[in-house]
Amino acid sequence: MSNTDIGDFLQSLNQQQNEWSFVVSDQWVITMQSLSVVSLLASLGVLAFMTHIFIRHRKYLERLSLRISGYVALADILNSITQILTLNNDLMIKQTRSGLRFILWLSMFSTLWFVFLTLCISMQLHLSTLTKIRVGIYMKLEKFYIPASLFLAVLLPGIAVGVMDGIFWIPYMHSFNWPTENWRRKLTLWMCNYVWIVLTVVYCSVVAMLLSLRIWVMWRNSVEVIEAPRMPEKWDWNSLTESARTSAETIVSSTSLLKQSAGDTNSTLIGTRRVSFDPMHSHDQASMPATGGSGRGYLLTVMRADKETGQTMAVRSYVDKKRFLRSIQRLACYPLVPIITQLGVVAMNMVDTPTKGLYIYGMALASTSGLLNLGVFLLNPALPDIWKDAALGQTL
């Protein structure tokens, strides 16, 4: 390299340092650290409440969204910790290459794990609400979601940091780098990190839009367009229904139950039909009360065991339309978090040199994932039932 080339390189480096000097300013560091600490505290709050649910209200952990919320909180805690670490230049400069690799792996792992877990909820909402796939099929997929997301979140960052020979820290950018061709560096980061975030953001965006449209149609004219309510996860139907009086025709034998339920346990949905409930002309107003608005709902048949005789009965139940749709609407908030927090990060890494505005937007919103996930967690449709059980002194 000639003296002229060296001079040009040093001049370019000096210009970059001057342009991005705000990244190491006290105002920026304090702001980002504050956002990370708030997200960390929010995630610790979710994790503490999930511990309470595990100890006192374990039956609600059958709901996929509630289980995933606990793991998302754990991922957000790790992500907030890595953000706080990488904002401390004095600490990062002292790290060995092994230490830098571990911190970068932990940062990528926590982000991808949160993204993949949210993808699982989006897939469940897609299969349950936007397709005709049988309930038993997509319910069986639940047990694979968390292990698969954890496996991919561990593997992909491991591959990335494994090829980063000579990794070092850039103080004025608060970022990692390693000596290699620029195209190879981008290929590694995109194939092991950003492409998965992009796919998740796009998929969650499509699901969120389609689900919003679906909910709007169901809310406006549900009786004419919906054949039956389909549960996105293992809800306790007692919280959404009012049981009708059992008649002689509804009693079935255990053998018949096994044939109809096809091996399902607990409450088994064996048949549904759409109804337009008119409280003014109902023959059973006491057992199927009207809800607000149009007074419409869904009439379904659920298998339950009689507490006194132990005999299995098919009980007709009236599903509150508003509560059912509101529950799905709340679950639909989960896919919005990666869209909000990761869109700026993806856009920032799609250009060679991001603008200051894009950099600030991407880094600031990425630091709020714990806080946003707390908001979504508080909207979980299981929480009102948990509060009710706690008020009544019911546990497990």
| Band of residue 242 on the pLDDT scale cut at 50, 70, 90 | very low
Residues 23, 174 contacting (CB under 8 angstroms): yes
DSSP, collapsed to helix, strand or coil, labels residue 153 as: helix
Separation CA 229–CA 224 (nearest Å): 13
pLDDT digits (tens, 9 = 90+) for 349-380: 888 777 888 888 888 899 999 999 999 999 88
Q: What is the pLDDT of residue 316?
A: 52
Q: Is the pLDDT confidence value at 102 over 80?
A: yes
Among 326, 323, 330, 329, CA closest to 376: 330
Runs of H (alpha helix) within 226-335: 254-261, 321-331
Q: Is the pLDDT of residue 160 over 90?
A: yes
pLDDT digits (tens, 9 = 90+) for 11-24: 444 455 556 666 76
Per-residue DSSP letter, 251: B
> What pLDDT is attached to residue 4?
44
> What's the rounded Cα separation, in Å, for the pair 343 and 372?
14
The residues near 316 (Cβ < 8 Å, ≥ 6 apart) are: 243, 244, 250, 299, 300, 301
**To 10 degrees, what angle do helices 356-366 and 26-56 make?**
30
Closest CA to 197 of 348, 66, 380: 348
Q: Which H or E run includes 267?
A: none
B/e letters for 110-127, b = 16+ CB within 10 Å, e = fewer, are bbbbbbbbbbbbbbbbbb
Q: What is the DSSP string of 160-197?
A: HHHT-TT-EEEGGGTEEE-SS-HHHHHHHHIIIIIHHH
CA distance 98 to 165: 10
Q: Which two tokens stand for residue 282?
A: 């109902």
What is the per-residue pLDDT for 269? 39
Say yes or no to pLDDT of 291 above 60: no
SS3 227: coil
More reliable by pLDDT, 280 or 194: 194
**Average pLDDT of the residues of the chain:** 75
241: β partners: 319
pLDDT tens digits, one per residue of 114-151 = 999 999 988 988 888 888 888 778 888 888 999 999 99
d(CA 68, CA 145): 9
CB-CB contact of 116 with 152 (8 Å): yes
- What is the pLDDT at residue 304? 56
User: What is residue 393's DSSP assignment?
Assistant: T
| Direct distance between the N- and C-terminal alpha carbons of the chain, in angstroms, rounded to an integer | 71
Q: Is it the case that residue 310 has pLDDT exceeding 90?
A: no
Q: Which is it for the CA torsion 5, 11, 17, 20, positive or negative?
A: negative
Return the ∠ at Cα 344 (arms to 29 and 64), rounded to 5°.
100
pLDDT in tens, 39-82: 999 999 999 999 999 998 888 888 888 899 999 999 999 999 99
| Number of neighbouring beta carbons within 10 Å of residue 273 | 10
CB 167 within 8 A of CB 97: yes
The model's pLDDT over 195-235, given as tens digits with 9 standing for 90+, comes to 999 999 899 889 888 888 877 776 665 443 344 556 676 65
